[in-house]
């Protein structure tokens, strides 16, 4: 069996070391970006100094995230499945509007908040948080797209969050709908992302309930089953002995 080349082994070690050193930092920066994006969207003050600085800070973070993604893409081999396995990072770089969703990195099994005990690791927990983030970020994105548009119905944070919950749960009352093309595109993205994550949460909850119900059913231990079978054999032997004794006495 041929051993992997030394260069490939070193490359893999470098990638693992890089990810280990930068994982917590990138997760923390993603969480910070979520906060800055929320502040910018809720208190929309373009032209004001603090708002402009936050906007510049968000763009610098995007450059950092893009550089991280490209560095890992260049270093990793083979590259065929890179973007498939790093789909969240890819989406947040290609679609800057979804940069806030990168905050999920702070809560997954490798994120700094998960390691600090704020959230237990696991696909269902991450997906549940993802649903909340999709509602929040999607609502803010639509709010920014609809702000100032003629005939806009989503004009406040409350309207945006309410619309997000209506959309992601497929209720769709229709009391608030995007009227701009950009807002409708964001709405479609929220629909697809929300349905996918809700499916994971629903499947996880169903699996948990089935597991709990199966654990409540009393099950005999293997040792007890063997003892029961031995007792049955003893009873059968006793009946046979009694029958033989009865025939011999007659």
Q: pLDDT by residue (tens digit) across 96-128?
A: 667 666 666 655 544 444 444 444 445 566 667
Quote the pTM value: 0.68
Based on the fold, state whether residues 166 and 247 are members of the same structural domain. no
Based on the fold, state whether residues 94 and 135 are members of the same structural domain. no
Question: CA nearest 131: which of 213, 189, 222, 194?
Answer: 194
- Average pLDDT of 192-198? 76
Based on the fold, state whether residues 226 and 240 are members of the same structural domain. yes
The C-alpha atoms of residue 94 and residue 115 are separated, in whole angstroms, by 28
Does any domain span residue 226? yes
In terms of pLDDT, which residue wins out, 23 or 48? Answer: 48
Based on the fold, state whether residues 206 and 141 are members of the same structural domain. yes
Please say whether the beta carbons of 145 and 183 come within 8 A: yes
The C-alpha atoms of residue 123 and residue 110 are separated, in whole angstroms, by 12
Look up the domain containing 236 and give its range.
220-250
Tell me how far CA of residue 205 lies from CA of 8, 193, 202, 209, 211, in angstroms: 42, 19, 5, 6, 10
Please say whether the beta carbons of 103 and 162 come within 8 A: no
In terms of pLDDT, which residue wins out, 118 or 194? Answer: 194
How many domains is the chain built from? Answer: 3
Does any domain span residue 116? no
- Average pLDDT of 200-216? 67
Among 36-45, 135-144, 239-248, the minimum mean pLDDT is found in 239-248
The C-alpha atoms of residue 227 and residue 236 are separated, in whole angstroms, by 14
Please say whether the beta carbons of 81 and 54 come within 8 A: no
H-helix or E-strand containing 53?
Answer: helix 49-75
Q: How deeply is 72 buried, as exposed, middle or buried, from its count of CB atoms within 10 A (0-12, 13-18, 19+)? A: middle
């Amino acid at each position: 069996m041929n051993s992997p080349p030394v260069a490939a082994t070193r490359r893999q070690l470098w990638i693992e070391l890089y990810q280990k050193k930068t994982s917590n930092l990138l997760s923390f920066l993603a969480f910070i970006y979520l906060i800055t994006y929320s502040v910018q969207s809720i208190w929309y003050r373009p032209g004001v100094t603090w708002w402009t600085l936050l906007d510049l800070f968000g763009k610098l973070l995007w450059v950092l995230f893009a550089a991280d993604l490209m560095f890992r893409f260049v270093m990793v081999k083979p590259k065929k499945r890179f973007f498939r396995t790093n789909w969240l990072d890819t989406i947040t770089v290609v679609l800057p509007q979804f940069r806030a969703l990168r905050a999920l990195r702070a809560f997954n099994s490798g994120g700094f908040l998960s390691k600090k005990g704020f959230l237990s690791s696991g696909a269902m927990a991450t997906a549940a948080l993802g649903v909340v983030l999709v509602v929040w970020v999607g609502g803010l994105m639509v709010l920014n797209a609809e702000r100032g548009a003629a005939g806009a119905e989503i004009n406040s944070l409350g309207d945006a969050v309410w619309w997000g919950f209506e959309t992601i749960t497929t209720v769709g009352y229709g009391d608030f709908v995007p009227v701009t093309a950009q807002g409708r595109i964001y709405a479609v993205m929220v629909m697809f992302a929300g349905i996918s994550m809700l499916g994971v949460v629903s499947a996880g909850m169903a699996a948990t309930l089935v597991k709990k119900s199966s654990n409540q059913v009393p099950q005999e231990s293997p040792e007890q089953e063997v003892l029961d079978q031995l007792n049955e054999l003893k009873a059968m032997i006793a009946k046979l002995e009694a029958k033989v004794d009865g025939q011999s006495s007659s």
